[in-house]
Structure 1
Amino acid sequence: MANSYPKTRIRRVVHRFGLVPLSSNTVASFYRKNAVIRVQTKSEAYAVKPFFRSLSLHSSTVDQMKTTANYIQLLMDNGFSCMPKWLTCTSGKLWTLHKGRPYYVTPWIKGRKLENQEDYEKLGQALASLHITSSHFLSKKAPFYDHIELWKSHDRLFRRQMMKAYQTDIKIRRWYKKFGKSCNRFSDRSWAELKRPEIVNLLRKERIRPVLIHNDITSYNVIISDDGQLFIIDWDRIKVGSMYIDIAAALTNTTQFNPVFIYSFLKGYEELHPLNQTERKWIASLYRLPREAWHATRFPNRPRSRNERNMLEIMEQTWLLRLKAMDFLEEWTHH
């Protein structure tokens, strides 16, 4: 794919943040080929991030950018340090609009990906810090993003597609036959646990005192800098929501279903924010949900992207590891 961001556009954007670029190049993410622009200046490198709206929200791109920037400003003002600092442009905002697209700029974090137990412990601590910090300044009137209802709709669609499996391509049909019923059993168990009075009460309390969630913590979005500090990047999807969903999704997307890494993550989290048995049970239930399968089969009539095909292949390759990870979390709920 050609570079979507001409040099002239990049120069105009970064000039608004007081930067003079010497060179620039686009860097791919898991989802986009031109996800971020790395700009080199005389002093250091910066990440120039084009902002794309979330399709799950009905608000405009600019409105979503405003909301995101407001949350980021609150986190910076309250001392949250596990993200790159957003630069302020000449207008005084944390973002700028150019040709209808919002952009924001942060220092480029040079470092490595998650590798060892200490890294995962730091990640758990960073996520706990995000939840604790934001709980102090969010009001109970903050708009709460309901992942549960969204995930239930994805589950229903997945089940309908299973019924039509013989009309799909042979690889999808084979995958459904091998793993589909197990996915449904996992979901049924988690939805049943959601109805337990202690879980219902827990979720009710969470809405009274909400937190900010990153909403997209993956291995790609966590960097250990050269000096050993952990940074979470790509905050485009930050929302007011459930910290338990944020924990469960981060465990799924980063720990490689490795009980050692899962334990280190949870140990780090609980060093700052201890969890009671009901909270642990709900996290284990959320982790059990087969969200990757739901996502990969959401659009049955659309040609499968490589990422969607990869999701099902990865689920098949890691199936036994996932089962062991679920067993580990089940044991963790009783400790």
Structure 2
Amino acid sequence: MSITRDIEETFPVTIRKTTRIRDVYRVLTVKGRLLCSKSYDIPEPEMHFIARVMMHLAEAGFHYGPRIIQTKSQAQWAIRKGKPYMITNWVRGRSPNFKERSEWKKAIRTLAEFHQHAEGIALDEIPAGRDRVVFLPNMIEHYRATISDHKGIGDISAFLSLFDIATSYINQPKSLEAIDHEKSVRAFAHGDYNYPNLVLDRKDAIHLIDFENASLQARMTDLAHILHRNHAWNGEDMLRWIEYYDRIRPLSNEDRHLLYAVLHVPNPLVRAIRLNKSNKTIENEIPQTTTIDQYVTALRIMI
């Protein structure tokens, strides 16, 4: 059965056209409405978690997350070819260009506003695969193993030193208090907050899409992620944008200790290895020792 017929039989829409775009379908209804159909390769309890995250944001008043289109039976998703899939609104716009300061600034502001609402999710039971906040120290050790076990990229001692700092600070009382707080308020993170999963609409507002990696997690992991992806090894720039985030959603002293720890994880190198980049490409991306030293020195002002 075609995707068009499946959707029309399950959801209260009549379709004029469907267009495949990467891993989703853009759906144009006869009324001119644009929708997004996305399938997920995850267990149904995790699908329920993702749907609950989206619904929580809408109920909390966050206007820039996906809006779920319910099925004819008022369900948040359906099953097609053995996999859950969901219909949401399609945001008309484009990926933001982070080389444009104004658009990067909007991304940090939107992240802070999203994090203001990203807590208190109401679920009787959280799927084990989505309950990740208490495993943050273990994640750092897993990343260390990823680098240590990778062969052929030369001297990694400087990166292991960064892991030593990250491990030391993630286990300090203030960082552990931050983790406990995030757990107690049922905080959640987007899990992949960066320009491919952000849309700048025609009114210059940024919308979040693709919550496939959302989980109960410390919100500082989102901030660290976008800083690592766009200001890698530039501690001074990171500090500037952390302070901008702080003006919108004030950071506690405990948050800052946790963020300080996570920013010492050399995520750019971990990501390059996980993407199976060639050793030559990875070596070309490795900063000089002096750059790493300057980065570490700059971050010290955080705490």
TM over 0.5: yes
Name the counterpart of 2:206: 230
Name the counterpart of 1:326: 295
Kindly indicate whether residue 118 of structure 2 is the aligned counterpart of residue 134 of structure 1.
yes
Q: Given the superposition, is the C-alpha separation of residues 324 and 75 from structure 1 closer, same or farther in structure 2, using an over 3 Å criterion? A: farther
Match of 1:102 among 81, 84, 91: 84
State whether residues 20 and 26 of structure 2, in contact with CA within 8 Å, keep that contact through their aligned partners in structure 1: yes
CA distance in 1, matches of 2:179, 2:164: 19
Show CA shifts across 1:281-325 (max 9, x none).
431331221234335546xxxxxxxx4217983673373697499
CA distance in 2, matches of 1:271, 1:22: 45
Name the counterpart of 1:49: 38
Name the counterpart of 1:317: 285
State the AA in 1 paired with 2:14. V
User: What TM-score do the two structures reach when normalised by structure 2?
Assistant: 0.82
Name the counterpart of 2:28: 40
Q: After TM superposition, give the deviation of residue 89 of structure 1 in Å.
A: 1.4
Name the counterpart of 2:182: 206
Which shows bigger deviation, 38-47 or 234-243?
Answer: 38-47
Match of 1:153 among 139, 142, 158: 142
- SS of equivalent residue, structure 1 residue 235: coil
CA distance in 1, matches of 2:232, 2:123: 35
Q: Given the superposition, is the C-alpha separation of residues 82 and 184 from structure 1 closer, same or farther in structure 2, using an over 3 Å criterion? A: same
State the AA in 2 paired with 1:49. K
State whether residues 138 and 209 of structure 1, in contact with CA within 8 Å, keep that contact through their aligned partners in structure 2: no
State whether residues 112 and 225 of structure 1, in contact with CA within 8 Å, keep that contact through their aligned partners in structure 2: yes
Show CA shifts across 1:147-170 (max 9, x none).
3313312322432x24xx3xxxxx
- Identify unmatched segments of 5+ residues in structure 1: 1-5, 29-34, 54-60, 166-172, 299-306
State whether residues 244 and 282 of structure 1, in contact with CA within 8 Å, keep that contact through their aligned partners in structure 2: yes
- SS of equivalent residue, structure 1 residue 64: helix
Name the counterpart of 1:111: 93
Q: Percent same amino acid among aligned pairs?
A: 16
Kindly indicate whether residue 169 of structure 2 is the aligned counterpart of residue 193 of structure 1.
yes
Name the counterpart of 2:14: 20
Name the counterpart of 1:170: none
CA distance in 2, matches of 1:191, 1:80: 34
State the AA in 2 paired with 1:79. G
Match of 1:72 among 20, 38, 54: 54
Q: How many residues end up aligned between the 2 structures?
A: 294
Show CA shifts across 1:223-251 (max 9, x none).
11111110111011211111122221122
CA distance in 2, matches of 1:263, 1:40: 43
Show CA shifts across 1:238-281 (max 9, x none).
11111122221122234566678746643442233112444324
CA distance in 2, matches of 1:273, 1:294: 29
State whether residues 235 and 294 of structure 2, in contact with CA within 8 Å, keep that contact through their aligned partners in structure 1: yes
Q: Given the superposition, is the C-alpha separation of residues 37 and 259 from structure 1 closer, same or farther in structure 2, using an over 3 Å criterion? A: farther
- SS of equivalent residue, structure 1 residue 49: strand
State whether residues 235 and 295 of structure 2, in contact with CA within 8 Å, keep that contact through their aligned partners in structure 1: no
State whether residues 293 and 312 of structure 1, in contact with CA within 8 Å, keep that contact through their aligned partners in structure 2: no
Q: After TM superposition, give the deviation of residue 332 of structure 1 in Å.
A: 5.0
State the AA in 2 paired with 1:184. L
CA RMSD in angstroms, aligned pairs only = 3.2
CA distance in 2, matches of 1:103, 1:77: 21
